[in-house]
Structure 1
Amino acid sequence: MGTSTRLSRRSFLTGRQPGRAVPPRPPGVTAASVMACTGCGECVDACPEQVLTIAEGRVALEMAAGECTFCGTCSDACPESVFTAGAGMAHEMILGDDCLARNGVSCMTCRDACPEEAITVRPRIGGPFLPVLDPALCSGCGACVGPCPAGAITPQIREPADA
């Protein structure tokens, strides 16, 4: 006999296994509205930046592929009620411990890539400048994710107040 995995009712109904990360969602897609996604891929095909994908049968952002420009083409192309007008990103960006600057290597790639100037650098004695992310300025577009040579920037799911 094979090994069995015990799933909760929630895991069974959502199709997610415990311990697996929830993929980041595009702007305007909430935890509730993503359940209306049929995985048809119309939004993926319409995205001019090619940063959308279908993950676990639902629309998701592929941040390593580039940045979301919030153009709304995905929302216009969606035949379901998945996208909510005016809702922001359902994640925030986190600068992780793998950051080169935090490990003694001078790097400002994330700062240079950020179109919102949400990442600044703070000088420190005896080491390279450290990147600092201002969540109030960060749009969650993902422009900093792909260029990061250490892969140290990741989205952390949260539900914005307006979603």
Structure 2
Amino acid sequence: METLSACTQCEKCVAACPEQVVRLAPDGVALDTTAGECTFCGSCADACPEAVFGEQKTMSHVMEISGDCLAQAGVTCMTCRDACPEDAILMQPRIGVPFLPSLDAARCTGCAACVSVCPAEAIRPIEKEPEDG
């Protein structure tokens, strides 16, 4: 089982990441959501000598679109939708004003492709809701 507590902060995963989105954090490693998209290529897991990374192609967080979104201010923008590789951001039509982005948390992998491209910096990661068991 993978766990951040197994991280020794050796930085091998940071060096191996082709997207340069893996960073050291006080409790191990973290995804730098402002740096770009995690493509789930597995290079970090391959380079890591510990059991930190798993096979799962999702993060422990999903994205959230805040009220700072340009569409909330009446500006047409679909950058986040266009950047999302999972089509997790849908545009909700509204009469007379720009479409409003809506995030489908069930489809969001937490890859952060939408974060770095948002001109309003209106997207941030939040912890996933616990699954009902």
CA contact under 8 A between 1:93 and 1:156: conserved in structure 2? yes
1:42 is aligned to 2:5: no
| Aligned position for 1:76 | 46
Separation in 1, partners of 2:78, 2:52: 36
TM-score normalised by the chain length of structure 2:
0.89
CA contact under 8 A between 2:58 and 2:111: conserved in structure 1? no
Separation in 2, partners of 1:125, 1:159: 32
Q: Which has the larger radius of gyration?
A: 1
| Aligned position for 1:141 | 111
RMSD over equivalenced CA pairs, Å: 1.8
Instruction: After TM superposition, give the deviation of residue 132 of structure 1 in Å.
Output: 1.1
Q: Identify, as 1 or 2, the structure richer in strand.
A: 2
1:118 is aligned to 2:104: no
For residue 122 of structure 2, what is the amino acid of its counterpart? A
Separation in 2, partners of 1:57, 1:98: 30
Structure 1 counterpart SS, 2:34: helix
Separation in 2, partners of 1:88, 1:147: 20
| Aligned position for 1:85 | 55
Structure 1 residue ranges (4+ consecutive) displaced by more than 2 angstroms after TM superposition: 84-88, 158-161
> Per-residue displacement from partner, 1:27-81 (whole Å, max 9, x unpaired)?
x96xxx1111111110000011111011225110011111011111101111111
TM-score normalised by the chain length of structure 1:
0.74
Identity of aligned residues (%): 60
| Aligned position for 2:33 | 63
Instruction: After TM superposition, give the deviation of residue 156 of structure 1 in Å.
Output: 0.4
For residue 81 of structure 2, what is the amino acid of its counterpart? R
CA contact under 8 A between 2:70 and 2:77: conserved in structure 1? yes
For residue 95 of structure 1, what is the amino acid of its counterpart? I
Structure 2 counterpart SS, 1:136: coil
CA contact under 8 A between 2:5 and 2:27: conserved in structure 1? no
Structure 2 residue runs of 5 or longer lacking an equivalent are: none
CA contact under 8 A between 1:90 and 1:160: conserved in structure 2? no
Query: CA 1:157–1:43 in 2, change beyond 3 Å: closer, same or farther?
Result: same
The alignment covers a number of residue pairs equal to: 131
Structure 2 counterpart SS, 1:44: helix
CA contact under 8 A between 1:100 and 1:150: conserved in structure 2? yes
